[in-house]
Every structure is written in structure tokens, then in C-alpha cells.
């Protein structure tokens, strides 16, 4: 599945309550753990891998700071492009700042992204995070990252973000 429009506005954090053996809180005398459920929303542009029409392939969708450079260059959306978007989401989680918040979301920003400019990471803001993951690797490296490290990294990021 390729989402094609991942950004912080499409990530929902829903509080749920589950019975658990750890992190109990007391609610009316019951021991219940407060757990957040994280969901991806706005699946309207999502497509199965390999099931994107030729006319859809080269259209650019999304919020500029979250769009992968290869997509801005006119290449098709892939899972690697979604990983770039996820990296920008993790930048927000780590720093509590939107990527490129100080720039207009225009052609100049698109050109900067295509030329490899990424949001700055202050080591004191995000000391436990891998800057290469947060700021996006090449599309080839992102494909490898997707298959080998994604689940472990996602859990680590969410746990460390609190």
C-alpha cells in the first residue's frame, strides 16, 4: 500500500483504555492502563503498490514538506516516498516543530527539497534519534529501511516521544 499523503494532519492519536499488567492507573477503583492508539487517516489517495494508473503516477499530492524529492521531480509515488514522509513526521515528533515551518510551501521549497536540503536537527532537541532517518535517506536506502528496520524504529520513536 502507498498512502501518498502522509503528514502530521493525517496521524490520529486516539486514547483507549485496556486492561494491562503494566502502567496501571486507577479509574473508579478499577486498574486500567491508558494507552494511545495511533491511526493513519485520509486513505483517499492510497493505492496498492503497482496499482497506480499512469495519469496518477506523476501527479504531486500532499503537503510540501512531507513530499519526497523524487516525487517532486515527477517520479511515481512508492513506498520509499511514504518512508520519506514518515521521516518528516518523526522529525515533528522529535522536535515538536513542523519541518520547514519557517519557509513558504512553494516552488522554492520544492527546489530546496530536491537539492537535498532538510530541516535542521538540534542535538539537544532530539538526542536519541538518528538524523539520517529523521531527514530522509535516498529512495533506495528508504526501501531497505522499510523492509529491515521500520517496525522496530516506529516502536522506539513512539516510546521515546512519550
Q: Which of these, 69, 59, 142, 127, lies nearest to 99 by C-alpha position?
A: 69
Contact 68, 62 (CB under 8 A): no
Residue 101 burial (CB < 10 Å; 0-12/13-18/19+)? Answer: exposed
Contact 98, 115 (CB under 8 A): no
Phi then psi dihedrals of residue 9, to 5 deg? -70, -15
Residue 102 burial (CB < 10 Å; 0-12/13-18/19+)? Answer: exposed
Annotated active-site residue 5? The verdict is yes
Catalytic-role residue among 5, 23, 42, 102: 5
Contact 156, 134 (CB under 8 A): no
Which residues are catalytically annotated?
A: 5
Amino acid at each position: 500500500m502507498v498512502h501518498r499523503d502522509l503528514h502530521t494532519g493525517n496521524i490520529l492519536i486516539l486514547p483507549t483504555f485496556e486492561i494491562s499488567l503494566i502502567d496501571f492507573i486507577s479509574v473508579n477503583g478499577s486498574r486500567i492502563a491508558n494507552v494511545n492508539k495511533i491511526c493513519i487517516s485520509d486513505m483517499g489517495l492510497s493505492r496498492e503498490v503497482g496499482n497506480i494508473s499512469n495519469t496518477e503516477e506523476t501527479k504531486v499530492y500532499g503537503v510540501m514538506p512531507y513530499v519526497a524529492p523524487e516525487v517532486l521531480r515527477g517520479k511515481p509515488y512508492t513506498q520509499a516516498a511514504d518512508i520519506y514522509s514518515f521521516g518528516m513526521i518523526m522529525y515533528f515528533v522529535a522536535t515538536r516543530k513542523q519541518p520547514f515551518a519557517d519557509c513558504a510551501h512553494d516552488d522554492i521549497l520544492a527546489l530546496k527539497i530536491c537539492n537535498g536540503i532538510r530541516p535542521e536537527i538540534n542535538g539537544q532537541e532530539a538526542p536519541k534519534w538518528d538524523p539520517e532517518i529523521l531527514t530522509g535517506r535516498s529512495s533506495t536506502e528508504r526501501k531497505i529501511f522499510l523492509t529491515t528496520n521500520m517496525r522496530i524504529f516506529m516502536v522506539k520513536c513512539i516510546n521515546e516521544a512519550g
